[in-house]
Amino acid sequence: MGRTARAFWVRSPGEGEIREVDLPDPGPDQVLVRSLYSGISRGTETLVFGGGVPPNQYGVMRAPFQEGDFPGPLKYGYLNVGVVEEGPDALRGRTVFTLYPHQTRFVVPVSAVAPVPEGVPPHRAVLAGTVETAVNALWDAAPLVGDRVTVVGAGMVGCCVARLVSRVPGTRVQLVDVDPDRAEVAGRLGVEFALPQDAAGDRDLVFHTSASEAGLVRSLELLHPEGEVVELSWYGDRRVILPLGEDFHSHRLAVRASQVGMISPARRSRYDHAERLALALGLLTDPAFDALLSGESGFEDLPRILPALARGDLPALCHRVVYDVPRHDHA
């Protein structure tokens, strides 16, 4: 009898199910990982779950270990923390992060797992992929000492960016969101909070992560002359209209794209993807990131939880999926 595992699949847009899958025996350069936690990257995964990926982006949006094709059936996800049960001696028993979908156990190449450093609890390590996105954004933006910085959109990516950029000496960072409840999260991250209509202007740099046209327009309005918006949002199949008249030209404003799939040109000669991920994992020794872990459910509940997240019924920033984990390891 071969080994099996249980995996979450998007059966069709808006519908999910748990499937039993066969597991191969790990080869000499592979590991068998037992999942402890996985995280739902709410913006991207709910877009995928709802079938909102446009056909011309199917290739770009593929997850590293995705099975199936858009819009479904497919297995999708990329925030997994588990324990190596079989593999090389140096990794056996180690806690590792893997860009793998929601599944109880899986076999991957040794090169696909990143050991979680001492001082980073497994429950927090699910944020590694999101912190890696924020690292790349800061490389693209190159914030300077003393900059006035705003982050528009207090989702997972926006909160990670806000925390990292607040560590640049002398920066004054404001996190902006339409949800007033995000003020508590901002406080735990050590940054200011404002609703969009109350946001401070005259900013040197604005990171936009709200995935809304209104948020991007507001980001431009907040800039100091010759300031820059760094755009991290993914809009799927939605079109965005921007006011490129008004102050855009006279104030010499700029909009720059930032996307984690490619390493920023500013660090491409120094870091590869594995090194960037290791850097992100090391940054998660900071307990302030626990502010993002605001929802939790068991793996078997995913067919019910994903629709609720997609509808906005659950307000979690990072919804954490719990597998068979000892209680003392919970946040």
Is there a domain that residue 273 lies in? Answer: no
Query: Where in the sequence is the domain holding 142, given as residue range(s)?
Result: 132-257
Pair 152, 246 in one domain? yes
Pair 231, 323 in one domain? no
3-state helix, strand, coil in the chain (%, to 5): 30, 30, 40
Q: What is the pLDDT of residue 259?
A: 87
Q: Tens digits of per-residue pLDDT, 200-233?
A: 999 999 999 998 999 999 999 999 999 999 999 9
Pair 165, 222 in one domain? yes
CA distance 1 to 26: 15
Pair 99, 117 in one domain? yes
Is there a domain that residue 269 lies in? Answer: no
Is there a domain that residue 272 lies in? Answer: no
Pair 214, 299 in one domain? no
Exposed e or buried b per residue across 43-55, where buried means at least 16 C-beta atoms within 10 angstroms of its C-beta? bbbbbbbbbbbee
Q: What is the pLDDT of residue 325?
A: 55
Q: What is the pLDDT of residue 330?
A: 39
Pair 176, 225 in one domain? yes
> Among all chains, which residue has been given the structure tokens 């979690």?
316
Q: Between helices 128-141 and 156-165, what is the axis angle to 10°?
A: 60
Is there a domain that residue 266 lies in? Answer: no
User: What does the block give as tokens for 168?
Assistant: 């640049």
Is there a domain that residue 287 lies in? Answer: no
| 312 in Cβ contact with 46 (< 8 Å) | no
Pair 150, 119 in one domain? no
Q: What is the pLDDT of residue 236?
A: 67
Pair 302, 252 in one domain? no
| 65 in Cβ contact with 77 (< 8 Å) | no
Exposed e or buried b per residue across 69-94, where buried means at least 16 C-beta atoms within 10 angstroms of its C-beta? ebbbebbbbbbbbbbbeebeeebeeb
Q: How many domains does the chain have?
A: 2
The CA–CA distances, whole Å, from 296 to 71, 193, 323, 331 equal 26, 25, 11, 10
Of 212, 234, 257, the one marking the end of a domain is 257
Q: What is the pLDDT of residue 329?
A: 41
DSSP 8-state class, residue 32? E
Q: What is the pLDDT of residue 326?
A: 47
Pair 55, 99 in one domain? yes
CA distance 86 to 32: 5
Is there a domain that residue 264 lies in? Answer: no
Is there a domain that residue 76 lies in? Answer: yes
One digit per residue, the tens of pLDDT, for the chain of length 331 reads 579 999 999 999 999 999 999 999 999 999 999 999 999 987 789 989 999 898 988 998 899 999 999 999 999 999 999 999 999 999 999 999 999 999 999 999 999 999 999 999 999 999 999 999 999 999 999 999 999 999 999 999 999 999 999 999 999 999 999 999 999 999 999 999 999 999 999 999 999 999 899 999 999 999 999 999 999 997 766 788 888 887 899 999 999 999 888 999 999 999 999 999 999 999 999 999 999 998 899 999 999 999 999 988 887 789 999 997 544 343 3
Pair 250, 201 in one domain? yes
Closest alpha carbon to 86 in 31, 22, 28: 31
The CA–CA distances, whole Å, from 309 to 27, 44, 155, 220 equal 37, 12, 13, 29
Of 257, 284, 317, the one marking the end of a domain is 257
Q: What is the pLDDT of residue 67?
A: 97
User: What does the block give as tokens for 253?
Assistant: 């404003």
Of 240, 257, 274, the one marking the end of a domain is 257
CATH number, position 214? 3.40.50.720
| 32 in Cβ contact with 86 (< 8 Å) | yes
Is there a domain that residue 282 lies in? Answer: no
CA distance 317 to 81: 18
Pair 200, 170 in one domain? yes
Pair 306, 189 in one domain? no
